[in-house]
Amino acid sequence: MAEDDVAETMETIREENFPEVPPELVARIVAIERDYAEHPTEAFKRVGQAIDEYLESRKAGA
Amino acid sequence: MFMKSITLTNFGPYKGEQRIAFPDDPGVEIVYGENMRGKSTLLNAIRYALFGKVLTRGDQFVALHQIGNWETRDQGTYGFKVVLAFEHEGSQYELTRECKVRPGVAQPKSDFDYQQEQFLRKDGSVLAADRLRAELSRIMPETVSRFFLFDGELLQQYEELLRNESEMGRKIKESIERILGLPILTNARAHLTDALREAQARESKAAQRNQKTRMLGGQHESALKLRDYHQAELERLTGQLEDAKAEKTAKEEQLRKTERTKALLDERSHLVDDIAADDARIKEKQGKLELALADAWKAVLAHRVKSARDAIQDDLDDLRDKHRNAVISLGSAERIRQAIDGGECSTCGQGLTSAARERLLKAVKSTSSDEERLRLESEIQNAQSRLTALLQIDVANNVEFIESLKSDIDEIRVHRADLQDRLADIREKTKNLDEAEVRKLYAEYDKAVTDITILEDGIKNEETKIKEVIDGIARIEREMAKFTDADLDEARARKDLCEKLKALFAAGVDAYRDRLRDRVEEDASDLFRKLTSEPDYAGLQINENYGLTIVHADGTLVPIRSAGAEHVVALSLMGALQRNAPLRGPIVMDSPFGRLDDAHTEKVVRALPSMADQILLLVYESELKPDQAREELKGALRKEYKIVRRSARHSEIETII
């Protein structure tokens, strides 16, 4: 199964059930978890940062 | 990962430096070696280079002190080294792991006298220790190594996948999901759960900073703490439940092994009871026999008494006949006398002639007298008295009864002797058994079953409490939502986003897992049909744990399979995992054809090139004949090697082709 399958599965579910969640944030979380699979503490920190950055950008946009 | 070469120095039977240079092209490489020449050691050398471990067939660690070559050790040279060169994603790697004697130790005696060193060179540069670990765990995580370093003798581990709640099954399932990339999503779900928890805490704090929502914020914080407490408790109980289930499964496994022992112990216990029951029956019968024997002397008179009774009875019958006749005769005489006295017949009334009167007088004289009747009555009374007296004598013939008792006792004794023989046999078989251990095992199994029930009840209870608390939190949040300020709105937005992300990734885990199962089932079935020589098998069906069951062409499941079929199913699973895993690596198979017949071996060999880019087979020649391998693999067979014996402790690797 290609690595893209995880991202593809997530995008399908997002589109169908959570369209309000930004696709780029979901893709970023998937990438973080893939890159830091053996370093969960770092992965958690980076997921938090991704959420912060998204909220900041939304605030700035608003 | 694609292996380029492996160099062993004094590793196991490989004395001095031995090197295998693997071909650059994808395909199959075969190392032939008879038993005890070093095939498994070669597999272990790869494992040692990657993970620093050497395992026995039973998955036990081998002490470092035992790994070095024995001949060089006898010559005073200790330690060993493995260098594995490989290519991964376009980079060239050289991994070196060496076990050396610690400075100052002249003659090592245990693992403490050794130290290990590891280096990883990537494209010519040596990586720092932390990068080395990260790089290796990315290229070949140890948790999934069982699907790359495959020991044919450990196939029974795959059977565990068919048994729910088995500890080994759980570990293999985790490994499978790991190799298939599921942790990307399960880790994301866990991290988003924690992120949501933090966001909710922020919301509480923000609410407490506002005068209007201070109280609600406090309630929210308390409710979150209560939820976290119950969730921690739920996790603790769930962990304990998993442990208890694993314990139960482990005990079941041990019980299966001791089932025969337990059966013997139970039989022994029943035999002791049965022998005691026989003893009781013998005692009871002997009691009856003693009583019967006390009256046995009477049996001597029995015949005589019976004869006397019979004779008297005959006399009595005779006397009664005579008495009856006498009474009848006396009655007739009376009627004749009346006729003589009256001169006419008492019946028809005609007058008697003189001749008739004469005849009647003669007849009267010949009839019985009353004295005769009285004499007979006296004799009858006398005979009756004698018969009654004889009947009162207890002369029952108890010989038959005694014989029957003796026969019963003999029969019980024979039965008892049989039981005694069997008991002696079982005592011999169980004399070295630790019975207390077996009984303890049963007690531990019972305890695990009880613990599971208690824990399941506890979990239900915690789940109910968590639901109540979460409902409470939702109520408080609805109340808080009626108020607005910048801080609170920001915290709420974060919480809402985390909530949605968590739900999205939770749904992703389920969907991806289902998708993986479907694909593994499809690919394993496809491979299985190619590998099996049984045309009636239509494919494989996957279970929750990725265990595979054979499906017959008629749609029914084949619940029991032979060792050979088990082997083919395991290989199908391995192939399917390789096809679906994001991770690519060589498959090293140690003695993979041992359980297979020629037809299956042929099919498996033919299918090997489709399972992975690089396959290294470690086989003995009777398991896979070189001619057969060449015939089946043709161009996919890249190279052949042979492990050559120099001595019992010295093997060398030679290239055949």
Beta bridge partners, B99, equal: B80, B116
Task: Kindly list the distances between the CA atom of residue B560 and the CA atoms of B96, B256, B482, B530, in Å, as whole numbers in the listed order.
Answer: 45, 17, 63, 20
Which of A1, A6, A43 lies at the smallest CB-CB distance from B191?
A43
* Helix H or strand E segment including B251: helix B214-294
Pairing type for strands B557-558 and B548-552 reads antiparallel
- Contact residues, chain B, for A21 at CB < 8 Å: 497, 500-501, 504
Q: Tell me if B195 sits within 8 A of A48, measured CB to CB.
A: yes
Question: CB under 8 Å to B118, separation ≥6 — which residues?
Answer: B52, B95, B96, B97, B98, B129, B132
Which residue of B lies nearest to A28 if distances are taken between CA atoms?
B188
pLDDT the model gives residue B319: 92
User: Which residues on chain B are in Cβ contact (under 8 Å) with A6?
Assistant: 181, 184-185, 508, 512
Q: Mind telling me how many Å the CA of B263 is from chain A's nearest CA?
A: 49
Residue type at position B341: D
Residue A55: its pLDDT value, please? 93
d(CA B52, CA B213) in angstroms, rounded, equals 58
Among candidates B490, B500, B516 on the partner chain, residue whose Cβ is nearest the Cβ of A1: B516
pLDDT in tens, B457-510: 999 999 999 999 999 999 999 999 998 888 899 999 999 999 999 999 999 999
Task: Report CA-CA distances (Å) from B97 to B46, B80, B81, B242, B364.
Answer: 10, 9, 6, 37, 147
| Residue-wise pLDDT tens digits, B219-228 | 999 999 999 9
Instruction: Please determine, for residue B190, whether its predicted confidence score (pLDDT) is greater than 80.
Output: yes
Q: What sign has the CA pseudo-torsion B594, B597, B600, B602? A: positive
CB environment B198-229: b (16+ within 10 A), e (fewer): ebbbbbbebbbebeebeebbebbbebbebbee
Q: Contacts of residue B493 in chain A, CB cutoff 8 Å?
A: 55, 58
C-alpha–C-alpha distance, residues B431 and B438, integer Å: 13
Amino acid B418: pLDDT: 92
Q: What is the pLDDT of residue B395?
A: 60
List all residues 6 or more positions away from B409 whose beta carbon is below 8 Å from its beta carbon: B282, B285, B286, B289
CB B610 within 8 A of CB B625: no
What integer is the mean pLDDT of B309-337? 88
Average pLDDT over residues B255-268: 78
Cβ pairs bridging A and B (under 8 Å): 97
Residue B164 pLDDT > 60:
no
Residues A40-59: pLDDT tens digits?
Answer: 899 999 999 999 999 999 88
| Average confidence (pLDDT) over B201-212 | 93
Structure tokens at B372: 């005769």
What pLDDT does residue B396 have?
60
pLDDT of residue B20: 93
Q: Between A5, A26, A39, which is nearest B504 by CB?
A: A26
Percent of chain B with pLDDT over 70: 95
Amino acid at B384: Q
Block residue for tokens 């950008």: A57
B158 pLDDT more than 70: no
Q: Å from B508 to nearest chain A CA?
A: 6
Which of B191, B496, B577, B578 to probe the A interface (max A CBs under 10 A)? B191
pLDDT at A2 over 60: no
Mutation for B interface: A4, A13, A39, most B CBs within 10 A: A13
Q: Does B131 touch chain A (CB under 8 A)?
A: no
The pLDDT tens digits of the residues spanning B29-73 come to: 999 998 888 898 999 999 999 999 888 766 678 888 889 998 998
Tell me the chain B residues in contact with residue A44 when contact means C-beta distances shorter than 8 Å: 191, 194-195
| Residue B247 DSSP SS3 | helix
State the average pLDDT over residues B318-334: 87
Nearest chain A CA: its distance from B184 CA (Å): 5
How many CB atoms are located within 10 Å of the residue A53 CB? 12
Residue B264's pLDDT is: 81
For B347-360, the pLDDT digits (tens) are 777 777 888 888 88
> B276 at the A interface (CB within 8 A)?
no
| Out of A9, A38, A47, closest to residue B515 by CB | A9
The residue among B175, B180, B119 whose CA lies nearest residue B142 is B175
By a Cβ cutoff of 8 Å, what residues of chain A touch chain B? 1-3, 5-6, 9-10, 12-14, 17-18, 20-21, 25-26, 29-30, 32-34, 37-40, 43-44, 47-48, 51, 54-55, 58-59
Say what the pLDDT of residue B162 is: 58
Nearest to B180 among A1, A38, A58 (CB): A1
Pair B652, B11: CB distance under 8 Å = no
